[in-house]
Chains A and B, each alone.
Chain A
Amino acid sequence: MQRIGVFVCHCGTNIAATVDVKTVAEALGHEPGVVISQDYQYMCSESGQNLVKNAIKEHNLTGVVVCSCSPRMHENTFRKAAASAGLNPYLVEIANIREQCSWIHKDIASATEKAIILGKAAVAKVHLNAPLTAGESPVAKRALVIGGGIAGIQTALDIAEAGFEVDIVEKNPTIGGKMAQIDKTFPTLDCAACILTPKMVEASQNEKITIHSFSEVTDVKGFVGNFTVTIKKKARFVDETKCTGCGLCTEKCPMKKVPNEFNMGLDNRTAIYIPFAQAVPKVATIDPNYCMMMKTGKCGVCSKVCSVGAIDYKQEDKFIEQKYGAIVVATGFNPIKLDKYDEFAYNQCPDVVTSLELERLMNAAGPNGGTLLRPSDKTHPHKIVFVQCVGSRCDDSKGKPYCSKICCMYTAKHAMLIREKYPDTEVYVFYIDVRTPGKNFDEFYRRAVEQYNVHYIKGMVGKVTPRSDGKIDVQASDLLANEQLHIDADMVVLAAAIEPDKTARPLATMLTTQMDTNDFFTEAHPKLRPVESATAGIFLSGACQGPKDIPETVAQASAAAAKAIGLLVKDSITCNPCVAHSDELMCNGCSSCEKVCPYGAITYTDKEFKMPDRTIAVRRVASVNPAVCQGCGACTVACPSGAMDLNGFSNSQIMAEVDAICK
């Protein structure tokens, strides 16, 4: 038999002025199971709490109902009070008779009547409350960072700084990502390599950080604090532990006509290669698609010249398995492919380039040693047209609906750098809008216009036509002057939209995290939890969550690190006990619940059951991982048989409330 205590708070006059608290206490005292019903001036005060605690002990209460302010205000207060008196804190229910009653009603009679009904509902619910215990789950003290660009590097460094082991998984032979390809950074125009490469070295030298370059995540199991991840270390045919990065092999390799991805295919590399001089790890990699030895079995030059015997043509992919407490996704972005943009003649004319290609063309370590030359004839361009929003803010299926955010600023940077270095070059920028929010950004853009005389024209480029004289005809509209323009350009630079890396979607599936329709990872809350995914223990760093510039990326990377550290520093995590659970005897194994779970908390196992007809049957049944479940209850409604229920908000509890209210 239940022994329930009801405690009605006056809240000074906040409640008592419009609700007749004595009548409420009296009425609730007649409810079945209620053994004590009291009112008090301030229930949340120490003496009020003592009233509750003493009643719990004295009357051996099995449930407590506090009629007071919103549970969002003092539910925890009274739960703690109950716990200190030896009653399970989840046997406390709050009837909200202040915010949802006394404060909104003026008529004492109807407010009192409503307060009684709300109290009855809470009593009806508490009858069915079960004691709940928050479970604990241990935390593996190691983080995984997926992606070794500036976001991943920064996150890893910050986590390592806090004293935790971090692994970086990078799919390319070197970490560094897009930032390594960039020449200068806006708005300060400092050299990207100068600020990035020290961080790369720092990461490689930090003993807490392990870099798995040329590797991929192939499987993720487990949940927050307890992920088991399989990492594929792709065969690079060079023993990483032996290679000193001397580079002799890359000099001697006879296969020299391999498009160099690092320079956006603007020059060539050898079949055995180190992506760039400051690569980390500085280890050679053999490209099996081009290596003569691998393709024909005849060559072996690199093996002969390698003094440490690091070359291993027979090397195979290796899989390693590691436990992690937290995972940070930093998979970054890529410019979109421009194949569909025939109007810009990108595929027809080598002098129509993307902005990232321009970065390489202007970079001292790039194909032309830093001198800006047209790719077609290696001559100096005198007129350059920049086209903004190529594929960004696009309504059609060719492009992306969103703003890529960084293009306005890097185009201003490119324009400014070109005008600075080659004052005889005319620069035109066609834009829809110039978007420069950010510290010192608008000043930067204005400098480009005012100091460097870059011609900014509001309008879209309609067609780019390479001419036989080597010039490029750019046909565009000037929306402000309302006229059609033709510009004889030497080069055209396209600000291609950026999109999440292609590896992000399969990764999201493995991680059971959510993505938006553009394949950007979805944050747990767009305002308040911007660096966490909805899946506990998975954090988001950098452009995988949305377009970002470098300072924003680094800020988010550090924020993600802080969140990960906050998790790793705990020995175990306390789970919310108000989670879903499945009654195996009723579960159909139909997977409906799994489909609506935003956290991937539900898994299925085949289990043997003694069936009602005395037979033994193997049935597929759902189980909820209480450490992962956040208790939304979506599964409880998706479940047709009612096998899935939610602690603290069970079907019977909610229906008891409905009944009491409608009584």
Chain B
Amino acid sequence: MQEAMINRAKQLLADGTVDRVIGWKRGEFAYDITPAVFRSAEELDADFVFDDFTSANVSKYLVKESKKEGKILAFLKPCDTYSFNQLTKEHRVVRENVYIIGIPGGPKLDAEKIKAKGITGILGVKNENYTLKIETVYGEETMPYYEAVLDKCASCKSKKHVVFDELIGDDGEVLESNRFEMVEKLENMTAQERFDFWRDQLSKCIRCNACRNVCPACTCEKCVFDNPNSGVENKAPADSFEENMFHIIRAFHVAGRCTDCGECSRVCPQNIPLHLLNRKFIKDINSLYGEYQAGEDTTSRAPLNDYKQDDCEASIVHERGVE
């Protein structure tokens, strides 16, 4: 796959279709892969990588890249295409300046999960028949492949590319996913249990803004949390309220726009399951206002910018579930 991608990228660079390629660059270890822009065949040969760890969603970079002169080739996984489409819908990317090659999605691996097994000193990771052979400075270790899969990939919603100029590999289908399981589990807890769960999680937040800055839906020219005039600006989670507020407002701002790409939880240095907040909104929207998948198309009205005269009343929140 990596070979095919490099070759096709070289062709498109050579025939002038594009002048840049956005993809992933190999790092020091097996897993520390960095999204990068490649400008020549030599750069591609030297560093371009596509493997089990190339999980980063590069669509957000296209907000900037697509406004530059020339055309850029972007390799987008299925989940990334949803993000890109949503950005197109919101006029945040210039579609014409991006040449999209749809590439197969994951499941991708999570180095943190390997490390959580106590495996350290990792020098190399190989997938042999769904068993990971991990070479370390302390000798070889093994673990089942599926135990190291990124959470966001384990609950993949779609293998379908919703936008592309061409595909390498086959297009997939929208999947029946179990992604709302954890949300449901929380919904079935008591309010006190939910409160304790989230207090425990959100109190870990260090307000590094990684979730916001990686989020393809968070592309505001000026974020309300950075704007002293917004009334909610803050730099640190000074107390439990601010820990809550940042995440409530962030989730609300992306409600109906979040494609559930899962990047927020992937990058959280404190492993807070932030995607559950977004999924709660998605689940509510689906059940209250009809199935809606952000990024599936570029024309539909976002659920929060739409209404029906016979929508349910807000009191539905009071009427259902566990208190």
Question: In the complex, are there CB atoms of A and B closer than 8 Å?
Answer: yes
Answer whether residue B12 sits at the interface, using C-beta atoms and an 8 A cutoff: no
A629-661 interface with B by 8 A CB criterion: 638, 640-643, 651-652, 655
Q: Are A596 and B222 in contact (CB under 8 A)?
A: no
Report the contact-size class of chain B (Cβ under 8 Å from the partner): 20 to 34
Residue of A586, A604, A640, A642 most packed against chain B (CB within 10 A): A640
Q: Report the separation of the CA atoms of residues A651 and B233 in the bound assembly, to the nearest whole angstrom.
A: 13
Q: Are A586 and B221 in contact (CB under 8 A)?
A: yes
Q: Are A652 and B305 in contact (CB under 8 A)?
A: no
Which of A620, A640, A651 is the one whose CB lies under 8 Å from B220? A640
Answer whether residue A617 sits at the interface, using C-beta atoms and an 8 A cutoff: yes
Q: Are A651 and B222 in contact (CB under 8 A)?
A: no
Which of B91, B222, B231, B306 is the one whose CB lies under 8 Å from A585? B222
Which of A517, A620, A651 is the one whose CB lies under 8 Å from B91? A620
Given A586-B221, A590-B90 in contact, is the A638-B253 Cβ separation under 8 Å? no
Q: Are B67 and A617 in contact (CB under 8 A)?
A: yes
In terms of DSSP, what is the predominant structure of the interface of chain B? Answer: loop
B208-250 interface with A by 8 A CB criterion: 219-224, 227, 229-231
Q: Are B222 and A641 in contact (CB under 8 A)?
A: yes
Interface CB pairs A-B, < 8 A, 13: A586-B220, A586-B221, A586-B222, A588-B90, A588-B91, A589-B91, A589-B92, A591-B90, A595-B301, A595-B302, A638-B304, A640-B254, A641-B223
Q: How many residues of A contact B (CB 8 A)?
A: 24
* B230 / chain A contacts, CB cutoff of 8 Å: 642, 651
Q: Report the separation of the CA atoms of residues A618 and B66 in the bound assembly, to the nearest whole angstrom.
A: 12
Given A588-B92, A651-B230 in contact, is the A640-B302 Cβ separation under 8 Å? no
Instruction: Name which residue of chain A comes closest to B256, CB basis.
Output: A592
Answer whether residue A587 sits at the interface, using C-beta atoms and an 8 A cutoff: yes
Q: Report the separation of the CA atoms of residues A651 and B228 in the bound assembly, to the nearest whole angstrom.
A: 12
Which of B67, B91, B219, B221 is the one whose CB lies under 8 Å from A591? B91
Q: Report the separation of the CA atoms of residues A586 and B222 in the bound assembly, to the nearest whole angstrom.
A: 5
Which of B67, B221, B224, B301 is the one whose CB lies under 8 Å from A587? B221
* B309 / chain A contacts, CB cutoff of 8 Å: 517
Q: A588-B220, A642-B222, A642-B224 are in contact. List 8 more A-B contacts (CB 8 A).
A: A589-B90, A618-B67, A619-B221, A640-B220, A641-B220, A643-B222, A651-B230, A652-B229
* A655 / chain B contacts, CB cutoff of 8 Å: 231
Residue of A517, A585, A586 most packed against chain B (CB within 10 A): A586
Which of A585, A592, A643 is the one whose CB lies under 8 Å from B305? A592
Given A588-B90, A591-B90, A595-B306 in contact, is the A642-B219 Cβ separation under 8 Å? no
Given A592-B302, A595-B306, A655-B231 in contact, is the A641-B221 Cβ separation under 8 Å? yes
Given A585-B221, A638-B304 in contact, is the A590-B91 Cβ separation under 8 Å? yes
Instruction: Name which residue of chain A comes closest to B218, CB basis.
Output: A640
Q: Report the separation of the CA atoms of residues A643 and B254 in the bound assembly, to the nearest whole angstrom.
A: 16
Q: Are A590 and B67 in contact (CB under 8 A)?
A: no
* A651 / chain B contacts, CB cutoff of 8 Å: 230-231
Q: Which residues of B contact A (CB under 8 A)?
A: 67, 90-92, 219-224, 227, 229-231, 253-254, 257, 301-302, 304-306, 309
* A620 / chain B contacts, CB cutoff of 8 Å: 91
Q: Report the separation of the CA atoms of residues A640 and B229 in the bound assembly, to the nearest whole angstrom.
A: 14
Which of A589, A591, A640 is the one whose CB lies under 8 Å from B253? A640
* B254 / chain A contacts, CB cutoff of 8 Å: 640
Q: Report the separation of the CA atoms of residues A618 and B67 in the bound assembly, to the nearest whole angstrom.
A: 8
Q: Report the separation of the CA atoms of residues A39 and B230 in the bound assembly, to the nearest whole angstrom.
A: 35
Q: B67: shortest Cβ distance to chain A, in Å?
A: 6
* A638 / chain B contacts, CB cutoff of 8 Å: 304-305
Q: Report the separation of the CA atoms of residues A588 and B221 in the bound assembly, to the nearest whole angstrom.
A: 6
Q: A454: shortest Cβ distance to chain B, in Å?
A: 39
Q: Report the separation of the CA atoms of residues A642 and B257 in the bound assembly, to the nearest whole angstrom.
A: 16
Q: Which residues of A contact B (CB under 8 A)?
A: 517, 585-592, 595-596, 604, 617-620, 638, 640-643, 651-652, 655
* B229 / chain A contacts, CB cutoff of 8 Å: 642, 652
* B222 / chain A contacts, CB cutoff of 8 Å: 585-586, 641-643
* A596 / chain B contacts, CB cutoff of 8 Å: 305
Instruction: Name which residue of chain A comes closest to B257, CB basis.
Output: A640
* A591 / chain B contacts, CB cutoff of 8 Å: 90-91
Q: A656: shortest Cβ distance to chain B, in Å?
A: 9
Q: Report the separation of the CA atoms of residues A586 and B67 in the bound assembly, to the nearest whole angstrom.
A: 17
4 closest cross-chain pairs (CB), A and B: A595-B305, A590-B90, A641-B220, A586-B222
Q: Report the separation of the CA atoms of residues A591 and B257 in the bound assembly, to the nearest whole angstrom.
A: 12
* B305 / chain A contacts, CB cutoff of 8 Å: 592, 595-596, 638
Q: Are B92 and A642 in contact (CB under 8 A)?
A: no
Instruction: Name which residue of chain A comes closest to B304, CB basis.
Output: A638
Q: Report the separation of the CA atoms of residues A585 and B222 in the bound assembly, to the nearest whole angstrom.
A: 8
Q: Are B227 and A586 in contact (CB under 8 A)?
A: yes
* A641 / chain B contacts, CB cutoff of 8 Å: 220-224
Instruction: Name which residue of chain A comes closest to B301, CB basis.
Output: A595
Q: Report the separation of the CA atoms of residues A642 and B302 in the bound assembly, to the nearest whole angstrom.
A: 18
Q: A414: shortest Cβ distance to chain B, in Å?
A: 36
* B304 / chain A contacts, CB cutoff of 8 Å: 638
Residue of A620, A642, A655 most packed against chain B (CB within 10 A): A642
Q: Report the separation of the CA atoms of residues A479 and B43 in the bound assembly, to the nearest whole angstrom.
A: 85
Instruction: Name which residue of chain A comes closest to B254, CB basis.
Output: A640
* B67 / chain A contacts, CB cutoff of 8 Å: 617-618
Q: Report the separation of the CA atoms of residues A585 and B226 in the bound assembly, to the nearest whole angstrom.
A: 14
Q: Report the separation of the CA atoms of residues A638 and B305 in the bound assembly, to the nearest whole angstrom.
A: 7
Residue of A590, A591, A643 most packed against chain B (CB within 10 A): A590
* A592 / chain B contacts, CB cutoff of 8 Å: 90, 302, 305
Residue of A587, A588, A643 most packed against chain B (CB within 10 A): A588
Which of A589, A640, A643, A652 is the one whose CB lies under 8 Å from B231? A652
Q: B86: shortest Cβ distance to chain A, in Å?
A: 10
Q: Report the separation of the CA atoms of residues A640 and B301 in the bound assembly, to the nearest whole angstrom.
A: 16
Q: A491: shortest Cβ distance to chain B, in Å?
A: 41
* B221 / chain A contacts, CB cutoff of 8 Å: 585-588, 619, 641, 643
Q: A494: shortest Cβ distance to chain B, in Å?
A: 30
Residue of B90, B221, B222, B257 most packed against chain A (CB within 10 A): B221
Q: B302: shortest Cβ distance to chain A, in Å?
A: 7
Q: Report the separation of the CA atoms of residues A508 and B1 in the bound assembly, to the nearest whole angstrom.
A: 51
Instruction: Name which residue of chain B comes closest to A604, CB basis.
Output: B91
Instruction: Name which residue of chain A comes closest to B223, CB basis.
Output: A641
Q: Report the separation of the CA atoms of residues A595 and B89 in the bound assembly, to the nearest whole angstrom.
A: 12
Q: Report the separation of the CA atoms of residues A619 and B219 in the bound assembly, to the nearest whole angstrom.
A: 13
* B224 / chain A contacts, CB cutoff of 8 Å: 640-642
* B91 / chain A contacts, CB cutoff of 8 Å: 588-591, 604, 620
Q: Report the separation of the CA atoms of residues A590 and B254 in the bound assembly, to the nearest whole angstrom.
A: 12
Instruction: Name which residue of chain A comes closest to B310, CB basis.
Output: A517
Q: Report the separation of the CA atoms of residues A591 and B299 in the bound assembly, to the nearest whole angstrom.
A: 11
Q: B124: shortest Cβ distance to chain A, in Å?
A: 39
* A595 / chain B contacts, CB cutoff of 8 Å: 301-302, 305-306
Q: A618: shortest Cβ distance to chain B, in Å?
A: 8
* A517 / chain B contacts, CB cutoff of 8 Å: 309
* A618 / chain B contacts, CB cutoff of 8 Å: 67
* A587 / chain B contacts, CB cutoff of 8 Å: 221
Instruction: Name which residue of chain B comes closest to A586, CB basis.
Output: B222
Q: Are B231 and A590 in contact (CB under 8 A)?
A: no
Q: Report the separation of the CA atoms of residues A640 and B92 in the bound assembly, to the nearest whole angstrom.
A: 13
Q: B84: shortest Cβ distance to chain A, in Å?
A: 15
* B231 / chain A contacts, CB cutoff of 8 Å: 651-652, 655
* B219 / chain A contacts, CB cutoff of 8 Å: 588
Instruction: Name which residue of chain A comes closest to B219, CB basis.
Output: A588
Q: Are B92 and A590 in contact (CB under 8 A)?
A: yes
Instruction: Name which residue of chain A comes closest to B255, CB basis.
Output: A640
Q: A559: shortest Cβ distance to chain B, in Å?
A: 26
Instruction: Name which residue of chain B comes closest to A590, CB basis.
Output: B90
* A589 / chain B contacts, CB cutoff of 8 Å: 90-92
Q: Report the separation of the CA atoms of residues A655 and B229 in the bound assembly, to the nearest whole angstrom.
A: 11
* B227 / chain A contacts, CB cutoff of 8 Å: 586, 642
Q: Report the separation of the CA atoms of residues A514 and B231 in the bound assembly, to the nearest whole angstrom.
A: 34
Q: Report the separation of the CA atoms of residues A619 and B231 in the bound assembly, to the nearest whole angstrom.
A: 26
Q: Report the separation of the CA atoms of residues A595 and B306 in the bound assembly, to the nearest whole angstrom.
A: 8
Q: A584: shortest Cβ distance to chain B, in Å?
A: 9
Q: Report the separation of the CA atoms of residues A585 and B306 in the bound assembly, to the nearest whole angstrom.
A: 26
